[in-house]
Structure 1
Amino acid sequence: MRPAELEAIRAGDVDVAFRRWDRPRVRVGTRMRTAVGLVEITSVDRVPVSSLTAADARRAGAASLAALRQGLDRVHPERPVYRIGLRYAGPDPRQALREAVPDTTEIDAIVAWLDRLDRASPTGPWTRTTLLLIDELPAIRAPDLAQRMGRDTPSFKQNVRKLKERGLTESLDIGYRLSARGAAVLDHEGHPRPAPSRSAPEPGTPLPHIGAAATRALTAQGVVRLEQVATLSEGEVRALHGVGPYALRHLRTAMDAAGLAFRDEAGARPETS
């Protein structure tokens, strides 16, 4: 799904999608992890194209019924159409997990799990090397990181996803970042870390997915959390090379959801009871 579709699902403006499939590819009750959080599948029904209405188009976020039908006819028009019910099901639980620093018992369990992954790997131990590389080089393209490890990009990404499932890393628009949980594991094992200024990720709310260029522009200024964005004016953010209307719109949406505002707008925000 495109970022705009995901944002509309989170806002409740879109609650269905239409796809041409040879057979259903999702199940009712499935919760998909997306850039905006969890999206739940509430229904999957095969429907004839002739039954689609203008209301269906609005619920799917299409500009019109004609636009919806044209989109469905663009790829594999011979396949049947399925209507998929969608619901925003809350933030990705991995976000809270990666920000929770584990206690000693949890760290011992994580270390044992990492050891099992290393023993099962046909190419040799990789878990600590990957964590240390991400810690050293945050926000670097996955292909570049994979090359440094002598790995192909797909297998490298697959390994990083395993670490992400346990809350040890987090994905950025460009590359990855070690989480507070991942940093705690490395520190517990006594691994050498980068400069003290990066001994732990900045606390707060991560930046939303705003595109690689905008992410690169903000991180170059040391801005990696929404709370840091709120210390800047909209004009200062807009002036950064790579930050366009799309990035500003998604930053504002994420800040509104977090109860934040740009510095020059903070005083104008109405108080809520």
Structure 2
Amino acid sequence: MRFTMEYWPGIADGSVTVAFRRWKRPTVVAGRTYRTGGGRVEVLDVSATNPDRISRRDVSRTGHPSADDIREQLRGEPDWPVYRVEFRYIDEPDPRDVLAHSADLSAADREEIDRRLARFDSVSKYGPWTRETLHLIARYPETRAPDLAAMVGRETRPFKLDVRKLKDLGLTLSFNPGYRLSPRGAAYLEVPYQPGASKPPGPKPAGSEPAGSDRN
């Protein structure tokens, strides 16, 4: 699920636990875990609702000042149904982050990473990209994704989606801007790990979210 930055602190402190979305069909499923800018959440319930009957209690759990504000912020086609999504913040380490900082690779670990990267390469319309991208990030840390994509003649969106696959394997970390190899990624490439001067981005002040992002 995506939220603009002003809602991240409320998600993290547990005060924001309900969201309303206008979708053609639900894009989240009860019982599953999703990452947000405010941390990981578990979706507890997804149900169609009448946006004209949003309760005061639900308003207080969304981070919005009023039901009217919720309705004004709904995206999507006017004839699409509106869904009420209830969730809880997961106050536990993200397994993906734990994996990214696990740099002691066994032979079996390397074989599994090799297998996964080979699979990504084999099904890509672009051609082999995994090691090219890892080495690109190692050489140009914290460089904007559009600039990295341009260096290898790729469009930004598919490039970013591919980097996300590497992140899911624990090989990269996201920064603002760009990426760095994680300790695991550096160990896999057998290069020194460089943490960088900045930290991966966390919650930021309201109003700093780029235009075009989904709103709560």
TM-score band w.r.t. shorter chain: 0.7 to 0.9
- The reply to whether residue 208 of structure 1 matches residue 201 of structure 2 is yes
Question: Which has the higher mean CA deviation after the structures are superposed, 81-90 or 104-113?
Answer: 104-113
Q: Which runs of structure 2 are paired with 1:1-273 in the superposition (5 Å)?
A: 1-72=3-74, 76-89=77-90, 90-101=92-103, 102-187=105-190, 193=191, 199-202=192-195, 206-209=199-202, 246=205
- 1:22 is paired with a residue of what secondary structure? coil
Q: How many angstroms does 1:37 deviate by?
A: 2.6
Q: For 2:28 and 2:173, locate their aligned partners in 1 and report how far apart those are by CA, in whole Å.
A: 25
- Residues 141 and 175 of structure 1 are in contact (CA less than 8 Å); yes or no, is this contact kept in structure 2? yes
Contact 2:20 2:82 in 1 (8 A): yes
Deviation string 1:195-251 (CA, Å, 9 cap, x unpaired) is xxxx21339x9443356xxxxxxxxxxxxxxxxxxxxxxxxxxxxxxxxxx29xxxx
CA contact (8 A) 2:9 2:203 kept: no
- TM-score, normalization by structure 2: 0.82
1:111 alignment partner AA: D
C-alpha displacement at 1:139, in angstroms? 0.8
Amino acid at match of 1:80: P
- Alpha-carbon distance, 1:171 to partner: 1.2
C-alpha displacement at 1:87, in angstroms?
1.0
Partners of 2:133 and 2:66 in 1: how far apart?
A: 47
* Aligned structure 1 segments of 4 or more residues deviating by more than 6 angstroms: none
Once the two structures are TM-superposed, the CA of residue 153 in structure 1 deviates from its matched residue by: 1.4
Aligned-pair identity in percent equals: 42
Contact kept in structure 2, 1:16 and 1:84, CA below 8 Å: yes
Query: Over aligned residue pairs, what C-alpha RMSD do you find?
Result: 2.4
Shift of 1:115: 2.9
CA distance in 2, matches of 1:25, 1:126: 29
Shifted more, 63-72 versus 13-22: the winner is 63-72
Q: Provide the rounded CA distance (Å) in 2 between the counterparts of 1:202 and 1:176.
A: 11
> Any idea what SS the aligned residue of 2:149 has?
helix
Aligned to 1:57, the other structure's residue is in SS state helix
Whole-angstrom distance in 1 between the partners of 2:130 and 2:57: 49
SS state of the match for residue 43, structure 1? strand
- Superposed displacement of residue 77, structure 1: 4.0
Question: In the alignment, is the contact (CA less than 8 A) between 1:111 and 1:185 conserved in 2?
Answer: no
Q: How many residues align?
A: 201
Alpha-carbon spacing, 1:50–1:35, altered in 2? closer, same or farther (3 Å): closer
Distance in 2 between residues matched to 1:70 and 1:180, nearest whole Å: 44
| Kept in 1: contact 2:11–2:39 (CA 8 A) | no
1:4-37 deviation line (CA, Å, top 9, x unaligned): 2232112110110112223323211121122333
Q: What CA distance in whole angstroms lies between the structure 2 residues aligned with 1:155 and 1:80? A: 30
Structure 2 counterpart of 1:200, one-letter code? Y
Distance in structure 2 (CA, Å) of the matches to 1:69 and 1:134: 41
Q: Is the CA contact 2:8–2:37 (under 8 Å) kept in the aligned structure 1?
A: yes
- For the pair shown, the structure with the greater C-alpha radius of gyration is 1
So what's the TM-score if we normalise by structure 1?
A: 0.66
